[in-house]
Amino acid sequence: MPRIIAARRTAVVPRGGKFALLEPHNLARPVIEACLADAALDASDVGELILSNALGGGGNPARIAALAVGLPERVAGLSIDRQCAGGLDAILLAHALIEAGMHEVVIAGGAESYSRRPLRSRTFADGRPPVPYDQARFTPWAERDPDMAKAADTLARTLDITQGTQDVWAQRSHARARAHADKRQAEIVPVEGVTEDTFTRDLTDRHCQRAKTVTGSITAANMAVAADAAAFVVVVSDRVATRLQKGGMTLAQGVTLGATPDQPGLAPVPAIREVLRRQGLQPNDLQRAEIMEAFAVQALACVTNAQLEPDIVNPAGGALAQGHPVGASGAILAVKLFHTLRMGDRPALAAIAAAGGLGTAALLEAVGPD
């Protein structure tokens, strides 16, 4: 079975911060270099680089990153865009490529610069001036393609999750992140002198009450801030893992499923249920769960509807305390698990929602060297 033998990330920095001048490949390069060093592999060993990027200007950012790192020119680089789910999907795809025998070493993850995202405009053939837009289309139906914050507020009203409940979850995320700050150092590769997630703070009731309202019950305090970051893992074949005498983490199951387009916050639930079903597991069999917190209500809805034990969810805080670097966020979940799972632990879950009603879930297990 393919094995993840190294996993690193940058700190997560809100847009306009210390990473504001860095393109995605500038964020990716030091992380990939650190992953290769941790794995005791040379650049020449790499067969493919899969990079998730949702906000860039197109092209093939994976190829740019591969060349920037100094991977062999034969490494073509594969860029994917599944929005928020892309970083975790890249890891699932790397696993599939190795399992199919196409490669023995694949680097997979995501790199996103919210700060450097290009301006976008729709053009028209009838001479009208271009119209700027921020959110891409995710369905063919405007009425089923909501703004993400509005969709989160609709979810909160549908499930009767109050702003106060959302704020409590956000406060918990920050408190847990602050309590585990020292333990995250093994995950983070210093870039531009930044060695810790810079957004984490002491979020209080007063802060939540004063936070700017985005829409309805969604405020600046209970939704994740737009951010810049990169995160990658090294996935290798059994043969390579045996040669290197490396343990690490295996992907026991992984799936991406589509769900109701206009309720993206609930999309991870069927994916979570499916990976558990395939392994014959129940939610209480899990050791830990990393659930994306693009919005507090999204995490709360997934915890409740997937029947997860809240205490095992995001024990070191989540995106509400860090930020949301869209294409990298799913890979960050896997990096966190890599550095916390231990031999003998029960399986762990990573799950994330994406615009358009997509949900990705992965079950991961710690393994020792052969």
pLDDT tens per residue across span 152-177? 999 999 999 999 999 999 999 999 99
CA 297/CA 153 separation, integer angstroms:
8
Catalytic residue chosen out of the listed positions 25, 95, 174, 324? 324
Strands (E), the chain: 3-9, 13-14, 48-52, 78-80, 105-113, 120-122, 131-133, 213-215, 218-219, 227-236, 248-258, 288-291, 348-354, 358-367
Spacing of C-alpha 239 from chain mean position? 28
Per-domain boundaries in the chain = 3-117+223-367
Residue 306 — very low, low, confident or very high, per pLDDT cuts 50/70/90? very high
Alpha-carbon distance values, 28 to 136, 189, 197, 297, 347 (Å): 24, 10, 16, 30, 28
Task: Give mean pLDDT, residues 130-159.
Answer: 92
Among this protein's residues, is 207 annotated catalytic? no
Look at residue 58 and tell me whether its pLDDT is greater than 90: no
Q: What is the pLDDT of residue 333?
A: 98
pLDDT tens per residue across span 5-22? 999 999 999 999 999 999
Helix (H) or strand (E) holding 92: helix 86-99
Catalytic residue chosen out of the listed positions 35, 84, 208, 302? 84
Q: Is-contact 299 223, C-beta < 8 A?
A: no
pLDDT tens per residue across span 315-342? 999 999 999 999 999 999 999 999 999 9
Task: Give mean pLDDT, residues 344-361.
Answer: 96
pLDDT tens per residue across span 268-294? 999 999 999 999 999 999 999 999 999
CA 157/CA 138 separation, integer angstroms:
22
Residue 254 — very low, low, confident or very high, per pLDDT cuts 50/70/90? very high
CA 22/CA 61 separation, integer angstroms:
13
* Percentage, residues of the chain above pLDDT 90: 92
CA 246/CA 252 separation, integer angstroms:
17
Answering whether pTM is above 0.85, one says yes
Contacts of 206 (CB under 8 A, 6+ apart): none
Q: What is the pLDDT of residue 72?
A: 97
Look at residue 344 and tell me whether its pLDDT is greater than 90: no
* Percentage, residues of the chain above pLDDT 70: 100
Q: What is the DSSP letter of 117?
A: P
Residue 343 — very low, low, confident or very high, per pLDDT cuts 50/70/90? confident
Q: What is the DSSP letter of 324?
A: B
Task: Give mean pLDDT, residues 144-155.
Answer: 94
Spacing of C-alpha 158 from chain mean position? 26
Residue written as token pair 């969604």: 218
pLDDT averaged over the chain?
96
Which of 123, 119, 137 has its CA nearest to residue 81? 137
Q: What is the pLDDT of residue 136?
A: 87
Q: What is the pLDDT of residue 208?
A: 97
Task: Give mean pLDDT, residues 113-130.
Answer: 93
Task: Give mean pLDDT, residues 111-126.
Answer: 94
pLDDT tens per residue across span 181-232? 888 889 999 999 999 999 999 999 999 999 999 999 999 999 999 999 999 9
Residue written as token pair 């309202």: 213
CATH number belonging to the domain at 3-117+223-367, selected among 3.30.1490.110, 3.40.47.10, 3.30.70.270, 1.10.10.60: 3.40.47.10
Collect contacts of 207-211 with beta carbons under 8 A, ≥24 apart: 208/167, 208/170, 208/171
